[in-house]
């Protein structure tokens, strides 16, 4: 299990089920979000201990802006509190923090704290933590297309030069490997506009566990399942075992 191929370089998670966790307790949904913030710590401890290089957490989708104003407001408060309380500790632990998504829609104070967190932690190498906030996979592809279109218009890029590598380089997570393992908690079997481009060859793992109930045992199950899978990247099994290679980078 110590084989580096058995450990995802990049783990991407849809942290789902906060609302239901609270509703089952007859409590307001916002309480579930607060409990979910504690589960982030569990997850982070696990990833640091396992040596996972990049952890991407889907915290707030582009569609989540359409939730009731009260819930959105409570989530903004929670983001702000986490930015105030957690960033220094993450920095101390050597985490580099990145935010991916349309951040222009967030309150200015949150945008400023996101910028500061990225700046302060830019040189850290223990783990990359990408927080997908105001993120949508379709939005990401559209903003990359828009950047490329501008470059073509300005004469700095020939349309023929656009290939998959170049396109990837204009996406939000440029420079990071594609996720090896995707986890969604909360029991729903869908991607919900998460990393549409980057999940092309990612191994998917779903659990009924609601995000606030996440524990190391559940994460271990996902890791063990991942370690047992054969990733073929379009090749045959014989090819894969013959070369013992496979990389969709």
Residue in 8, 10, 15, 16 binding Mg ion, rule: CB under 5 A: 16
CB of 67 to ligand IPE, least distance (A): 8
Residue in 19, 101, 136, 179 binding ligand IPE, rule: CB under 6 A: 19
Stretch in the footprint of Mg ion (CB under 5 A) among 14-22, 78-86, 141-149, 241-249: 14-22
By C-beta, is 51 or 187 nearer to ligand IPE? 187
By C-beta, is 20 or 147 nearer to ligand IPE? 20
66 is catalytic: no
Q: Rounded to 10 degrees, what is the CA torsion of 110, 116, 117, 122?
A: 150
CB of 38 to Mg ion, least distance (A): 17
Q: What is the C-alpha separation between 208 and 186, in angstroms, rounded? A: 5
Helices (H), the chain: 18-23, 29-50, 69-92, 108-121, 137-153, 164-169, 216-228, 237-243
Residue in 81, 115, 150, 190 binding ligand IPE, rule: CB under 6 A: 190
CB of 75 to Mg ion, least distance (A): 12
The number of beta carbons lying within 10 Å of the beta carbon of residue 213 is 17
**Which residues in 35-100 belong to E strands, given as ranges?**
54-61, 95-100
Question: DSSP letters of 157-175?
Answer: --GGG--HHHHHHTSTTTT
By C-beta, is 16 or 140 nearer to Mg ion? 16
- Locate 4 and state its tokens: 């580096």
Q: Which of 16, 140, 178, 180 is flagged as catalytic?
A: 16
18 is catalytic: no
Q: E strand or H helix at 182, and its extent? A: strand 181-184
Q: List interacting residues with Mg ion (CB under 5 A).
A: 16
């Amino acid at each position: 299990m110590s084989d580096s191929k058995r450990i995802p370089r990049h783990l991407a998670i849809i942290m789902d089920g906060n609302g239901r966790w609270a509703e089952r307790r007859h409590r307001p949904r916002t309480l579930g979000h607060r409990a979910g913030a504690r589960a982030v710590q569990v997850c982070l401890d696990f990833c640091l201990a396992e040596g996972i290089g990049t952890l991407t957490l889907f915290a707030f989708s582009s569609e989540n802006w359409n939730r009731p104003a009260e819930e959105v407001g409570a989530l903004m408060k929670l983001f702000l509190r986490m930015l105030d309380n957690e960033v220094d500790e993450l920095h101390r632990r050597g985490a580099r923090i990145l935010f991916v998504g349309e951040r222009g829609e967030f309150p200015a104070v949150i945008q400023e704290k996101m910028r500061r967190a990225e700046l302060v932690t830019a040189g850290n190498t223990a783990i990359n933590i990408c927080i997908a906030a105001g993120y949508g996979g379709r939005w990401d592809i559209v903003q990359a297309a828009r950047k490329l279109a501008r470059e073509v218009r300005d004469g700095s890029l020939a349309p023929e030069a656009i290939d998959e590598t170049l396109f990837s380089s204009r996406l939000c997570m440029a420079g990071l490997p594609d996720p090896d393992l995707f986890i969604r908690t909360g029991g729903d079997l869908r991607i919900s506009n998460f990393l549409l481009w980057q999940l092309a060859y990612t191994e998917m793992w779903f659990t009924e566990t609601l995000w606030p109930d996440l524990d190391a045992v559940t994460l271990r199950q996902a890791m063990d399942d991942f370690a047992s899978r054969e990733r073929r990247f379009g090749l045959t099994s014989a090819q894969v075992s013959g070369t013992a290679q496979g990389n969709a980078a």
